[in-house]
Amino acid sequence: MAFLVDDTRETLHKPAPRPFWRSLGELEQTPEFLERLHREFPVAASEWLEDVEPGAAKNPGLSRRNFLTLMGAGLSLMGLTGCTTRKPDAKIVPYVIQPEQIVPGKPIFYASALNVNGAAHGVIVETHEGRPTKIEGNPNHPASLGATNIWMQAAVLGLYDPDRSQVVAQLGGSSVSTWDKFQSAIAPMLAAKLQNGGSGMRVLSEPIVSPTLAAQAQALKRRFPNLKWHVFSPTDRGNVREGAKQTFGQPRNVVYAFDKADVVVALDSDFLIDEPGSLRYSRQFVDRRRVRKDRPEMNRLYVVESARTITGAMADHRVPTTPDAIERIANAIASGVRGGMRNTLDETTEKFVRALVDDLKQAGKFALVIAGEYQPPQVHRLCHEINAALGAVGNTVLYTDPIDAGSVDANASLAELVHDMNAGSVDLLVMLGGNPVYNAPADLDFASAMGKVATNVHLGLYEDETSFLSQWHLPQTHPLEEWSDLRAFDGTVSIVQPMIAPLYEGRSVHEVLAILLGDAARSGHEIVRGHWAEQHKDNFDFWWDKSLHDGLIEDSALPPRESNRTQAANTTAPSSQPAPAGFRITFRPDPSIGDGAWANNAWLQELPKPISKLTWDNAAYVSRATAQKLEVEEGGTIRVKYAGRELAGVPVIVVPGQPADVITLHLGYGRTRAGKIGTKLGFNAYALRTSDAPWFGAGATVTRDDADYELAVTQEHQLMHGREIVRPVSIAELRARYASAETTRAEGANVEHPKTVPLTLYNPDEWENKGNKWGMVIDQTACTGCNACVVACYAENNVPTVGKEQVIRNREMAWLRIDTYFSAADAEETEPAANPETYFQPMLCQHCETAPCELVCPVGATTHSAEGLNEMTYNRCVGTRYCSNNCPYKVRRFNYLEYNGEVSQTQAMQKNPDVTVRQRGVMEKCSYCVQRINLARIDAKKQGREHGLVREGEVLTACQQSCPTQAIVFGNLNDPQSQVKKLKEEPTNYGLLTELNTEPRTTYLERVRNPNPAMKS
Amino acid sequence: MAQIFHPSMNTVARASIFGAIFVLGAAAWVAARIYSSPYVTEQYVAREQPVPFSHEHHVTGLGLDCRYCHTSVEDSHFAGVPPTQTCMTCHSQVWTNAEMLEPVRASFRENKPLAWTRVHALPDYVFFNHSIHVAKGIGCSTCHGQVDKMPLMWQNATLHMQWCLDCHRDPEKYIRPKDQVFNMAWPAGQKDWDQKTRGAALVAEYHVNKVQLDNCSVCHR
């Protein structure tokens, strides 16, 4: 055995060929980092040391006497638990009349749609005896393709939020009222408005993507001809809309076909997460990147960006730059594509653009240039021009009619409204959703304008900042409680159907509009069904049932429209402008809680944001160079002066790859009335945002602030001692590997493994189960780091959230995390943190065949199943935490406190009834969704299949099902036809830390990159 | 100075030292007995119900099948407790004035469900599935006892994990032909039924995967 030990030790100590690091602390090997590295439970180990003042005693901490006192008390209290031996009386409460479809104990699935990123995403909702517990994507819906994003997953928690507004409230939520009182109060006002045609009456809503709502808005305008309908959303895609309008002379909706794109250039576009069609785009984009033995081809992505996004992390070439420089680059690309590039760029960028233009020209109509909503209309015009010049229009880019009714520019619309309010010409303002007091541009000062309106009515899910200043607050139904309809990114219409009767006294937007239309008795169901009954007269009942069942209306996508550019974009404008002085500010919706509407959602708050791994806060993202310039470190704060406004005490987080001199501020935090969870977290970046520059601006003065601020960042949690676990490979290297026929498992990559045969004394055939043998493969080339799987795991497995203070103590409970590694492309790079390559690695229990955790459990609480699962039996666990100590992957999470103890009655309804709700003092971890496996196996056994053999596709883990790019593949390794088995035979397949003889059932496919050979790095 | 202890005390001291072992042993035995006694497990304890429903009367007397009321026993993990409507299929016609049945009528009248006391309660960390047991030839009476002889329902087994494992380790001892699952009297009336050999044959025939049955995750997850 000695030689083996030596081998292993050698592997462990062999320096990785290229340094990968998780955080700047690791890069610099700071003392704080090393401390964290060597102590897995840093806080628990010194539980009672903390309260002792430094220097108070020679031997601080717990004395032997105190230790014995606590120990004795603990033992006797433990004995007391034995006193309740008799089971409490439980009741079974059956139905009086059982609904026909319900089989007690079996879930029912319904199709519906949710409005995320301003458009419909088709969902399938799992309900148990009438309570929705889990949301999955609808495979037939074009915007979902079966996948979900974090917001779709988190919507089910929002439904049960006990902080939602429950009753009608009058003036600032202080006085409880009723719908009847509201209706009798508004009736005389409406009667007066009918006399004058609705002068002085305004409606403010979010952009309208519901056909029924659009029809109701039309009807309202007919009833009150002088009424004006305004639209506002802080994340409105005004730049996209305006760019198309300027180019084509009329509003156009832009739809991309990434499945046809060989070369993609993203200019400040985070198309993998924040486009209305992001889930579809992610799938199509990644489908072109799945490199397999028989298909060694992939697309190429260039990203030029002024912030840090997951799209940038997926890029083969990423250029971090200032937001204003992107227009110059777009100009250069446009002129280059037309021939004869005008040079207004610095030397490096110019070289980059020349190579990029060559690549684009070569791809021709299979190229795609996409501008993000954060860039001004001019950049969008340039992109339309470039795509047209390349011939990509009609192939990778399609234009349709707009999906939002009226296609109104939100900022202009709100500015007009505020102007009229200040002028005193508005006396009745009805706000249907939205929260303009919190998120309207700071220069408009919506709150004070509201003071000049006699009656403000606000419909909302929460009694928020806007409700507080309104005369009437009306509770809104949650999307899972109401009838409605929505258009998707391509115009496809879905009917939204309720999964549960409203928990509180909420009404939908449609029902509130019915009050204004003088038809208060009509239910949401009648309104929506009535709208569609008018359009589909023949065989309507069948059509309606089918549309509900399918989750979408057949053939309702908007057809592509021939679009002629009316005028060429002006490509000369910005070339001679000098670069503005000072720091640039870029605003972005928060990666987790968006524009702030999700602020009270604990799953999203605790979700580590991609790349920075920050939880429970927002912070100013700065580069290391900027931090040094400002003499501020992580945990310090800055004071930002921008456009005449000032924000002090802004915490700083140093993010590798953040563009120099650009400070990214995320919107959505600093809420004052969000609810118990979201209130008073972070700072409010809206306070700096103006209506003329919604996404970026220059000339910010930034100085160091004295205050300290503790951030909960999980980047350095669960470290793995710098062992070599991320392995990038370029497509060129991979082709060479295929060619050299050296395609056996895990070899030929950039490290040689000492162990290629299993080190076991047993004959594996003796004990191995002949039925299912579960395994998983995670394709790191496909993982975009979008976090959907993490939230899906929270929802499926009843994973508790722990709060900011506990996250700081390394106690977050997520069973699945996405580790982010950085590495400078060039090892010689002087500033490795300037623009490192970024690697995402979803990390969950590896279900080792020879699991180190199982050996050390003193009570047999973690064992191995015949199908190869590493089982965790909570009722046996006594909480020694030895298993976690011995786990090389650091995937076990310990329940320190009664995190599930304080869930409200409504939140308890969200819990998955098929999974134990764990109490404190037990270890937990990924189970490969054993509840789903068991149900699938029971079904298989009931059908009489031998060994309970589960067929491919009959069981999907929650993470696998949610993944937009199908990066996670799970299945039966005994089935030679299963996808997972085939992937395990790919030459890019490798297991993590296999030199420890753990034999993990989860393996990874190497991250394949496709750099342009014409470019260095 | 006079002796405080009489010499016989030596014997008492020795006896008490050795006796302590027996005392502790006895205490442990008593504790174990109490733990598995009906006082704790509620085995054989007839539970009070809102309506004194008699399985004996409905099954033996009237010949109702188990599945007339426990409809989902073959589909779901939960066998199902009948909605009031099921009771009323007969009791809207028979015993319409019986005072004993007033709670049932009241439930139907006022649309308020009956709240039955649970007789077989497993801890929340145990995920038992009726449908698979029924599908693999484990009869109702194996766990629930001869329900057709129970005027009021009681729990027939300890429901301890040891009791579960007794069958999960050796299903041969309890398995029966699938068509006999709902036979309350099984195996009475069967000629020459040899559980040992026939049980092993059925385990093979029904593809009962014995290596898997004592995996923790089969019941705990």
Q: What is the mean pLDDT of residues A36-54?
A: 57
Q: Is the dihedral of CA A616, A618, A624, A627 positive or negative?
A: negative
pLDDT of the residue at A122: 95
Place of tokens 């609480």: A861
- The shortest CB-CB distance from B211 to any of A93, A866, A914 is to A866
Separation between Cα atoms, residue A937 and residue A51, nearest integer Å: 52
Each residue's pLDDT tens digit, A393-436 = 989 999 999 998 877 888 889 999 999 999 999 999 999 999 99
Write out pLDDT tens, residues A178-218.
Answer: 999 999 999 999 999 999 988 899 999 999 999 999 999 99
Please list the alpha-helical segments (H only) found in A503-601: 509-516, 524-535, 540-550
Task: Report residue A952 as tokens.
Answer: 């491919």
Q: Which residue has the higher pLDDT, A847 or A719?
A: A847
Q: What is the dihedral of CA A710, A711, A714, A720, to 10 degrees?
A: -40
Q: Give dist(CA A47, CA A49) in Å, integer.
A: 6
Q: What is the pLDDT of residue A31?
A: 79
The residue among A762 and B146 whose pLDDT is bigger is: B146
Range with the largest mean pLDDT of A43-52, A254-263, A342-351: A254-263
Q: Which of A106, A869, A941 sits opposite B135 (nearest CB)?
A: A941
Question: Per-residue DSSP letters for A121-169?
Answer: EEEEEEEETTEEEEEEE-TTSTTTTT---HHHHHHHHHHT-TTS--SEE
Instruction: Report pLDDT for B138.
Output: 94
- Asked whether the predicted pLDDT for residue A742 surpasses 90, the reply is no
Confirm or reject contact between B156 and chain A (CB < 8 A): no
pTM: predicted TM-score of the whole model, two decimal places: 0.90
Closest CA of chain A from B48, distance in Å: 11
The DSSP code for A801 is P
Written as one letter, the residue type at A583 is: F
Q: Degrees (nearest 5) of the Cα angle A416, A419, A423? A: 140
Interface subset of B 124-143, CB within 8 angstroms of A? 124-125, 127, 129, 131-132, 135-136
Task: Tell whether the model's pLDDT for residue A746 goes beyond 70.
Answer: no
**Residue A748: pLDDT over 50:** no
CB-based contact (8 Å) between A409 and chain B?
Answer: no
* pLDDT, tens only, A576-634: 455 667 899 999 999 999 999 999 999 999 999 999 999 999 999 999 999 999 999 88
pLDDT digits (tens, 9 = 90+) for A164-186: 999 999 876 568 889 999 999 99
**Neighbouring residues of A188: CB distance < 8 A, sequence distance ≥ 6:** none
Confidence check: pLDDT of A456 > 60: yes
CA B126 to chain centre: 14
Min Cα separation B126/chain A (Å) = 8
For residue A293, the model assigns a pLDDT of 85
Query: Nearest by CB to B115, which of A93, A865, A915?
Result: A93
Contacts of A89 in chain B (CB under 8 A): 117-118
Q: Are strands A168-170 and A472-475 parallel, antiparallel or unpaired?
A: antiparallel
Which phi-psi region, left, alpha or beta, contains residue A437 (left: φ > 0; alpha: ψ -120 to 50)? alpha
Contact A85 B35 (CB under 8 A): yes
- Nearest-neighbour CA in chain A from B109: distance (Å): 10
Tell me the pLDDT band of A43, cut-offs 50, 70 and 90: low
In a 13 Å sphere around the CA of A856, the CA atoms on its Cβ side amount to: 12
Could you give the percent of chain A with pLDDT greater than 70?
89
Q: Comparing C-alpha atoms, which of A211, A785, A845, A101 is closest to residue A495?
A: A211
Residues 80-119 in B contacting A (C-alpha not used; CB under 8 Å):
80-85, 107-108, 111-118
Angstrom distance (rounded) from CA B189 to CA B207? 27
Cα atoms found within 13 Å of the Cα of residue A490, Cβ hemisphere only: 24
Q: Do B135 and A769 touch (CB under 8 A)?
A: no
Query: How far from chain centre, in Å, is Cα A746?
Result: 32
Residue A339 has pLDDT above 90, yes or no: no
Spell out which residues of chain A touch residue B117, defining contact as CB-CB under 8 Å. 89-92
Amino acid at A316: D
Question: H-helix or E-strand containing A228?
Answer: strand A228-231
d(CA A1010, CA A1013): 9
Which of A969, A979, A811, A986 has its CA nearest to residue A899? A811
> Which residues on A lie below 8 Å from B124 (Cβ)?
916-917
Show the CA angle centred on residue A235, arms to residues A233 and A237, nearest 5°.
95
Q: Which of A90, A91, A97 sits opposite B83 (nearest CB)?
A: A97
Longest dimension (CA), chain B: 94
Write the pLDDT tens digit of every residue in A75-113: 888 777 666 666 778 899 999 999 888 899 999 999 999
Residue from the list A865, A946, A947 with its beta carbon closest to the beta carbon of B215: A865
Q: Between chain A and chain B, how many beta carbons pairs sit less than 8 Å apart?
A: 142
* Whole-number average pLDDT of chain A: 87
Question: Which of A766, A931, A934 has the most B C-beta neighbours within 10 Å, making it the best mutation to test the interface with B?
Answer: A934
| Between A346 and A224, the higher pLDDT residue | A224
Single out the residue of A601, A580, A579 nearest to residue A590, CA to CA: A601
Q: How many CB atoms lie within 10 A of CB A687?
A: 14
Burial A533-550 (b: 16+ CB within 10 A, else e): eeeeeeeeeebbeebbeb
Any CB–CB contact under 8 A between A845 and chain B?
A: no
Predicted local confidence at residue A347, as pLDDT: 83
pLDDT for position A28: 79
First to last CA, chain B: 71
Residue A894 CA to residue A620 CA, distance in Å, equals 31
CB contact under 8 A, B215 and A934: no
Predicted pLDDT of residue A768: 66
User: Is the predicted pLDDT of residue A833 greater than 70, yes or no?
Assistant: yes
Q: A764 pLDDT band (50/70/90 cuts)?
A: low
* pLDDT (average), residues A531-553: 92
CA distances from A243 to A256, A336, A424, A689 (A): 16, 21, 33, 21
Q: Which 9-68 residues of chain B touch chain A by CB within 8 A?
A: 34-35, 39-40, 42
Which token pair is A969? 């593949």
A215-246 CB burial, b ≥16 within 10 A, e <16: bbbeebeebbeebbbbbbbbbbbbbbbbbbbb
Q: What is the pLDDT of residue A23?
A: 81
Which residues between 656 and 675 in chain A have a beta carbon less than 8 angstroms from any beta carbon of chain B? none
H or E element at residue A665: strand A662-667
The Cα–Cα gap between A918 and A900 comes to 7
With pLDDT > 90 as the criterion, what percentage of chain A qualifies?
Answer: 60
Q: Cβ contacts (< 8 Å) between A106 and chain B: which residues?
A: 72, 75-76
Cβ-defined contact of B114 to A93 (cutoff 8 Å): yes
Name the residue among B78, B118, B132 with its Cβ closest to that of A941. Answer: B132
Averaged over A780-795, what is the pLDDT?
95
Is residue A712 within 8 A of residue A723, CB to CB? The reply is no
CB contact under 8 A, B135 and A942: yes
Res. A571: pLDDT tops 60:
no
Band the pLDDT of A744: cuts 50, 70, 90: very low
- The reported pLDDT for the residue numbered A6 is 45
Instruction: Using CB atoms, pick whichever of B71, B82, B209 lies closest to residue A948.
Output: B209
What is the Cα A705 distance to its own chain's centre? 31
Residues A954, A937: Cα–Cα separation, whole Å: 9
From B39, B212, B221, residue closest to A927, measured CB to CB = B221
pLDDT at A3 over 80: no
Confidence of residue A759 (pLDDT cuts 50, 70, 90): low
Cβ of B125 within 8 Å of Cβ of A916? The answer is yes
Binned at pLDDT 50, 70 and 90, residue A15 comes out as very low
CA dist A568 and A907 (Å) reads 55
- Mean pLDDT, consecutive 10-residue stretches, chain B (221 aa), reads 84 90 92 86 88 93 92 93 93 90 93 93 92 94 93 91 93 93 87 88 91 91 88
CB count in 10 Å sphere of residue B85: 15
Give pLDDT tens digits for A290-320.
998 888 889 999 999 999 999 999 999 999 9
- Token pair of A577, please? 């402008």
Contact between B84 and A96 using a beta-carbon 8 Å cutoff: yes
Q: With residue A968 as reference, give the H or E element that holds it.
A: strand A968-972
Q: What is the pLDDT of residue A431?
A: 94
C-alpha–C-alpha distance, residues B218 and B221, integer Å: 8
Looking at the complex, report in whole angstroms how far the Cα of residue A789 sits from the nearest Cα belonging to chain B.
Answer: 20
